[in-house]
Amino acid sequence: MFKKILIANRGEIACRVAQTARRLGVRTVAVYSEADAQAAHVGACDEAVPIGGHAAKDSYLQWQRILDAAKATGAQAVHPGYGFLSENEDFARACAAAGLVFIGPPPEAIAAMGSKAAAKALMAEAGVPLVPGYHGDNNDPQFLLGQAEAIGFPVLIKASAGGGGRGMRRVDRAEDFVAALVSCQREAAASFGNDHVLVERYVTRPRHIEIQVFADTQGQCVYLFERDCSVQRRHQKVLEEAPAPGLSAERRAEMGAAAVAAAQAVGYVGAGTVEFIAEERDDGDIRFYFMEMNTRLQVEHPVTEAITGLDLVEWQLRVAAGQPLPRRQDELRIHGHAIEARICAENPDAGFLPATGTLQVLRWPAHVAFQRGGDALTPAPVRVDAGVREGDAISPHYDSMVAKLIVWGEDRAQALARLDAALRDTRIVGLATNVAFLRRVVGSRAFATADLDTALIERERPALFGHAGLPLEVAAAGVVAHQLRHEQTLEGSDPWSRRDGWRLHGGARRRIDLALGGEHHGFTLARLHDGALRLSLGEQHWPLGWRALGEDRYEVLLAGQRHVLAVHAAGETLAVFGEHGSLELSEYDPIAHAADQAGGGGSLTAPMPGKVVALLVQAGATVTAGQPLAVMEAMKMEHTLHAPRDGVVGELLYAVGDQVSEGAALLTLAGE
C-alpha cells in the first residue's frame, strides 16, 4: 500500500478520500486554491500545498503544479476525485511520466470512453446494446436532420465530449432541429472545447440505471450492482438509490454482464460506472441501452458502499497499488436499501439558480461517519459526506453541491423514512439550498411508490415548486417567541411590564416588521386585557401562545394549531425551521428601504457572478417581458435571463466571454 498520496481535488470528495486514507494509515497531501486556504479538505489532510488562484483553471486544473506538489511532498500516487482532472487522459499520462501512480484507469481507457460517439462505436462492437442513433463523424446540419428524421422525433442531440448534464438538447419537431443543433454546438465548443455531437432517439419515460464496475491489474472485473439515478433536474442527478426498484435478478445480472463487457472492451482498471438508459415496457419488463461510461469514482458511490458494506475508495487504493480485487463476483451481496440526496446551494423555485454565500448555520442530523466495510456489514443509518463547515463560504468558483446525505434501511420504506427525517433535521442558514425541495421530492407520491423516470420532477411540478413550506405567520410566531424569550433572559423580567412603547391603547402592542425576500410584512403583536397574545397582519388575526422547549426551539400555538419551531439568528437573518419547511426572515428597516423605488429597473442584471455565454438581442431591439435576452454560465450551469418587462434594449454593457459580478447590469432597457 502507498505511504502517501496527493488528493487533486477539493470539497466533499477530497475529505472522503482523506478519511479512507487515514483509516488505512496512508498519509495525505491536499492541494488548495486561494479561495480554499481555510477549506475543510485542507484540514482533513496531513499536509497541504497551495497551487494558485480561485478559478479552477488557475489551480485545480494546473497539472504541473499538482505534479510538482506531489514530488515535493514525496507522494507516490494521485487521487483525482471527480470533476477537474479525473477524466483527463493527458493528466493520467503526465502522472505516469512523473513517476506517480494515477489512481484511476489507464489513459487509453479514459480516451476510449472520453468521446460518447467513439465509445458507442466501440460498444456496438462489444455487443453492448445502444440507443438507436447516429454517432458518426458527419456533423453537417442537413445530414444530421436527415438522421433525426430517420430515427424519428423526439431526438436528443448530445455533445460527444459532454458531461455533467450539459451539452444536450431534446428536439420534438424537425423545424426546431437546426436551431437546437447550433445552440448545442455552441455550448459544447464553449464548455468542452469540441463541438462534435451525436443524435439519438429520445427515450420517453426513461430511467437512468447505472452499474458500478471494478477491475484490477490481474484481469479480474466485477460489478457491484446498480444505482437508480432517475430523479434528475436538467439532466443532473438529484437523488440516487440502490438497488433499483423493480429490477429483476435476471435483468440485474444481464446489465452487470454488459457493464463488465464494456469495461473489458477498453482494458479497464479501477472504479468505473457504466450508465444505461432503461425503458420500462408495457409488460413491466426493463430494456436497457448503453449511454456512456464514467471513468472515475462517481458522486453517488456511497449508496453502493451502503448496500455492499464496502469502501470503494479503499478498493481504488488497493487496485492502484497492484493488489487483486478484495472480492470475487460470487462473494458480493446486496444488503438493504440506500438513498443519497445531493444538497446543493441553489434556488429550486428560480430554475435551480445556484446560490453563493456564507453557511452561517450548518447543522446536520445525527449521523455516523462512514463505517468500515471489510467483513462487517454495518452500514450507517445516516451518513453525511460534506466538504464544508459552519462559517464556510460557497463561492461562485466551484460547483454548487455542498454535501450529500446518505441513508440506509433494511428496505426502501425504512430508508425513505430515514431520509425524510434526516432532511427535516438539516438546517442551513445563509444561502438558498434545495433541502426543503428534496424533502418534497422524497415525500412525493411518485417517489414514495418508486414510479421513477427522469421526468419525475417535471411531472410532479405543482407539488414540488412554489411552496413556502412554512406559512409566513407561523414563521413570524417563531420570531416572536424567539424575541420574547431573549428579552426575558436579558431583562430578567416580563417585557410587558416595561415602561416603553409597549403600552398603548390600554392593551399593549408592538410592531414586528419583517422582510421576506426583500418584501415587507408589518405584523403587530398585541397583548389583550386578559393577558393573551394576538398576532396580526392587516385584517388577519391569530391568537398566539408559546413556550421554549430547548436551545432555540419553541412550541407555538397559533390559532389553536401547534407548531414546533427552531429559530436560528445569524447576523440580520432569523431562520425559522418548521416540520414542513423553513423561512429566512430579517428585521425590516423602513428607513433603509425608502430609497428602493428610486433607481434601478432600467436594466437586466446578473443574478449571480458568472460568464456571459450569449447575448440574444442587439442594441435597439424591442423586447417583450419574458423574452430571453442573454445566457450566463455560473457554477457549471447555463442560465437564460429573461426581459423583466417590455422595453427597448439600449446599450449592451458586456460582451460574450466576459466575466460579470452579481448585480452587474448586462444591458440597459429603456421605455415602458
Per CB under 6 A, residues contacting ligand ADP are 11-13, 82-83, 86, 131, 156, 162-165, 168, 200-203, 206, 208, 232, 235-237, 275, 277, 291-292, 294, 298-299, 399, 401, 454
CB of 155 to ligand ADP, least distance (A): 8
Decide which of Mg ion, ligand ADP, none touches 566; Cβ closer than 5 to 8 Å per partner kind: none
Helices of type H across 36-153: 40-44, 63-73, 89-97, 107-114, 116-126, 141-151
CB of 275 to Mg ion, least distance (A): 5
Cα–Cα distance between 473 and 116 in angstroms, integer? 52
CB-based contact 324:577 (threshold 8 Å): no
Decide which of ligand ADP, Mg ion, none touches 82; Cβ closer than 5 to 8 Å per partner kind: ligand ADP
Helices of type H across 244-351: 249-265, 301-308, 312-320
Residue nearest to ligand ADP (CB): 83
By C-beta, is 240 or 552 nearer to ligand ADP?
240
Measure CA of the first residue to CA of the last residue in the chain; give whole Å. Answer: 69
By C-beta, is 262 or 394 nearer to Mg ion?
262
Q: Report the relative pairing of strands 77-79 and 4-7 from DSSP bridges.
A: parallel
Decide which of ligand ADP, Mg ion, none touches 232; Cβ closer than 5 to 8 Å per partner kind: ligand ADP
| CB-based contacts of 323, cutoff 8 Å, min separation 6 | 1, 216
Active site residues: 296
CB-based contact 190:182 (threshold 8 Å): no
Cα–Cα distance between 558 and 574 in angstroms, integer? 19
CB of 336 to ligand ADP, least distance (A): 23
CB of 100 to Mg ion, least distance (A): 28
Residue nearest to Mg ion (CB): 275
By C-beta, is 83 or 609 nearer to ligand ADP?
83
CB-based contact 126:265 (threshold 8 Å): yes
**Residues forming the site for Mg ion (CB under 5 A):** 275
CB of 350 to Mg ion, least distance (A): 25
Residue linked to cell 453563493:
356
CB of 247 to ligand ADP, least distance (A): 16
Decide which of Mg ion, ligand ADP, none touches 373; Cβ closer than 5 to 8 Å per partner kind: none
CB-based contact 498:516 (threshold 8 Å): no
- Torsion angles phi and psi, residue 624, rounded to 5: -110, 155
- Torsion angles phi and psi, residue 258, rounded to 5: -65, -40
Cα–Cα distance between 665 and 98 in angstroms, integer? 47
By C-beta, is 310 or 401 nearer to ligand ADP?
401
CB of 447 to ligand ADP, least distance (A): 16
Cα–Cα distance between 382 and 258 in angstroms, integer? 32
One-character DSSP codes across 122-190: HHHHHT--B-SEE-SS---HHHHHHHHHHH-SSEEEEETT--TT-SEEEE-SGGGHHHHHHHHHHHHHH
Q: Report the relative pairing of strands 221-233 and 206-215 from DSSP bridges.
A: antiparallel
By C-beta, is 167 or 430 nearer to ligand ADP?
167
Q: Which contiguous run of DSSP H or E holds residue 344?
A: strand 337-344
By C-beta, is 12 or 552 nearer to ligand ADP?
12
Decide which of Mg ion, ligand ADP, none touches 79; Cβ closer than 5 to 8 Å per partner kind: none
Q: Which contiguous run of DSSP H or E holds residue 420?
A: helix 412-424
CB of 174 to Mg ion, least distance (A): 27
CB of 237 to ligand ADP, least distance (A): 5
Other beta carbons within 10 Å of 74: 12
By C-beta, is 2 or 288 nearer to ligand ADP?
288
Decide which of ligand ADP, Mg ion, none touches 89; Cβ closer than 5 to 8 Å per partner kind: none
Q: Which contiguous run of DSSP H or E holds residue 293?
A: strand 286-294
Using omega within 30 degrees of 0 as the cis cutoff, is the peptide bond preceding 154 cis? Answer: yes
By C-beta, is 289 or 577 nearer to Mg ion?
289
By C-beta, is 200 or 311 nearer to Mg ion?
200
Decide which of ligand ADP, Mg ion, none touches 165; Cβ closer than 5 to 8 Å per partner kind: ligand ADP
